[in-house]
Chains A and B, each alone.
Chain A
Amino acid sequence: MIEFKLPSLGADMDDGTLLEWKVGVGDTVTKGQVIAVVDTAKAAVDVECWTPGTVHELVAEVGQKMPVGTVMAILSESGEKVGAGGTAECRPVANMGKAAVSPAAPTARRMISPAARKHAEERGIDLDAVVGSGPNGAVTLDDVENAAAQPAPVTAPKPAATPDKSAEMRKAIAAAMARSKREIPHYYVAEDISLAKALAWLQAENLRRPMAERLLPAAVLLKAVAVALAHYPELNGFFRDGSFAPAAKINLGVAISLRQGGLIAPALLDAGARNVTQIMQGLMDLVKRTRAGSLKSSEMSEATITVTNLGDQGSQLVFGVIYPPQVALVGFGRVAERPWGDAEGGLKALPVVTATLAADHRVSDGHRGALFLRELAELLQHPEELEGLEK
């Protein structure tokens, strides 16, 4: 039996509310399949299964708010005999109370021990708000007693119809960014990069492409970042429990601002393996789904570095705040015509972007960070090669 727990959906998400089950008991699920939709402070997220199996029990109930790590469902492994010996802990606790089972969703129920239920009723405690610590997330008498002892009762009146989403978003951003500034010793380096060649290449490409396949400068910049990162593993990965682990793939977190305020930085997964055209398609899809609220859990949690691109309406440069547990953030300011000296002593006005790197001094030093930006600048002088670099 496998406990399927609510996965972390990024540093700024501590809990989620189950909106919908996408599977039922008895369904076979595959790795990567969306099995539930969970609402977070930032957005509704499609939660993907990390392992193949068969749904044995749906523990979490629709509407239930739960912390990351809460057991949502019990899966049986392929070939595993449901109900066979050795799986006693997965049997539903006897005497499931009448209130626990909603007629509309008879399979979605939590395991609550009879003593815990009785105690909760006596003390007026909302069982939906109690986190179970027993086997498979079962709510035990201790859990109820702990909940009863909380100074701020978890049974506080439920907020009116819609909680203030933008306030929740602001809180989530504040928590992640405060943690970043508290824990990560940032250093910053910056480099002005001429985009004359990259934009000329882009223009020529777009001239021969149908409208729907045209490229934005952002796609070229993201591709160049992915290629440069291959040589700087100390910028791509996670700092957890006191040490850094470089990531095998390059998943670029792309900061996307939301129209109602706030931002999300979902991952463009395996950007290192995509060419510029594929990055552009991935980016369009990601922006569309971010705004529509249909991101996947892997996209929320697997970004290995973040790129923020201020675009043509932004300011000249941006000093990023690293999104933990990542260790670096690449920022691009507005592309603007600026004076540019060439090797022959001439001066021209060229489209220039200022690229910045904010990186974690526990993992890398400014010298390496500067070399990374120099490599990025060099790659952007050969845009035609970037398109060809698929791997």
Chain B
Amino acid sequence: MNEADIRAVALETLLAIAPEVEADELRGDKPLRNQVDLDSMDWLNFLLGLHEKLKVEIPEADYAKLVTLDDVMGYLAKKLEG
């Protein structure tokens, strides 16, 4: 799975939760939750969606590392390699 694939899955998961999001306008280097109105439950569902689609285990201790979309992409890429 390459970077584009991972990005597609991440965006698909995000759009299922926040259908109003314009994917093109998202900045990968800015905190995701500053750009999209995601409450704690939305955020949990976003991570849960990634977990289910990519079979990646995301310990709660790692949640804090996932701030920007780039963070999420990098984290998933690393997990999928390993």
Instruction: List A contacts of B47 (CB < 8 A).
Output: 211
A288 to chain B, nearest CB (A): 8
| CB closest chain-A residue, reference B33 | A313
Tell which of B41, B45, B60 has the most Cβ of chain A within 10 Å. B41
| Cβ–Cβ contact A283 & B41, under 8 A | yes
Instruction: List B contacts of A217 (CB < 8 A).
Output: 40
The answer to whether A257 and B40 touch (CB under 8 A), given A207-B60, A211-B47, is no
The answer to whether A214 and B41 touch (CB under 8 A), given A259-B18, A259-B20, A313-B33, is no
Which residues A249-268 have CB closer than 8 A to chain B?
257, 259-260
A184 to chain B, nearest CB (A): 27
| Cβ–Cβ contact B19 & A313, under 8 A | no
Instruction: List B contacts of A284 (CB < 8 A).
Output: 41, 45
| Cβ–Cβ contact A287 & B41, under 8 A | yes
Instruction: List A contacts of B38 (CB < 8 A).
Output: 313
| Size category, A interface | 10 to 19
| Stretch in B4-12, B51-59, B69-77 touching the partner | B51-59
Q: How far does the alpha carbon of A156 sit from the alpha carbon of B19 in the complex, in Å?
A: 35
Q: How far does the alpha carbon of A207 sit from the alpha carbon of B57 in the complex, in Å?
A: 12
Q: How far does the alpha carbon of A259 sit from the alpha carbon of B48 in the complex, in Å?
A: 19
A381 at interface by CB-CB < 8 Å? no
Q: How far does the alpha carbon of A259 sit from the alpha carbon of B40 in the complex, in Å?
A: 14
| Cβ–Cβ contact B18 & A214, under 8 A | no
A218 at interface by CB-CB < 8 Å? yes
Instruction: List A contacts of B45 (CB < 8 A).
Output: 284
B22 at interface by CB-CB < 8 Å? no
The answer to whether A206 and B60 touch (CB under 8 A), given A212-B48, A259-B20, is yes
Q: How far does the alpha carbon of A206 sit from the alpha carbon of B60 in the complex, in Å?
A: 7
Which residues B21-62 have CB closer than 8 A to chain A?
33, 37-41, 44-45, 47-48, 51, 57-61
B57 to chain A, nearest CB (A): 7
Q: How far does the alpha carbon of A214 sit from the alpha carbon of B48 in the complex, in Å?
A: 10
B63 to chain A, nearest CB (A): 10
Instruction: List A contacts of B39 (CB < 8 A).
Output: 257, 311-313
8 A-B pairs with CB atoms under 8 Å apart are A211-B48, A216-B40, A216-B41, A217-B40, A259-B19, A312-B39, A312-B40, A313-B39
Q: Nearest 3 pairs between A and B by C-beta?
A: A206-B60, A311-B40, A311-B39
Tell me the B residues contacting A by CB distance below 8 Å.
18-20, 33, 37-41, 44-45, 47-48, 51, 57-61
